[in-house]
Amino acid sequence: MTLPASAAGAIAAIVIMALVTYLTRAGGVFAMSRVPIGPRIERFINAMAGSVLVAVITPMAIHGDWGARLALVATLMVMLTLQKPLPAITAGIVTAALWRLW
Partner 1 sequence: MTSRSQGAQLDLAGTLVGIRRMAPLSLFVVVFGLAFGVAALSRGLSGLEAMLMSALVFAGASQFAALELWGPEIPLLPLIATTFAINARHLLMGAAIQPWLAHLPPGQRYGSVMLMSDSNWAMAAADHQKGETNIGMLVGGGIALWVTWLFGTLLGVVFGSGIQQPERFGLDVIMGCFLLSMLVGGRRDLSMLLPWGAAALAALAAMAWLPTHSHVIVGALAGGLAGMLLPPRKEGSP
- Say how far apart CA 33 and CA 58 lie, in whole Å: 37
Query: Could you tell me the smallest distance in angstroms from the CB atom of residue 81 to partner 1?
Result: 11
Nearest residue to 61 (alpha-carbon basis) of 53, 73, 51: 73
Sequence-separated (6 or more) residues with CB below 8 Å from residue 96: 67, 68, 70, 71
* Closest separation in Å from C-beta 59 to partner 1: 6
Nearest approach in angstroms of CB 70 to partner 1 is 9
**Residues 53 to 82 in contact with partner 1, rule: CB under 8 A:** 53-62, 64, 67-68, 71-72, 75-76, 79-80
Question: Residue 8, interface with partner 1 (CB under 8 A)?
Answer: no
Interface with partner 1: number of residues (CB under 8 A): 79
Which of 33, 30, 47, 99 has its CA nearest to residue 71? Answer: 99
Check residue 102 for interaction with partner 1 (CB under 8 A). no
Under the binding rule (CB under 8 A), the answer on residue 27 touching partner 1 is yes
Entry field: residues in the chain = 102
Q: How far is the CB of 23 from partner 1 (least distance, A)?
A: 8
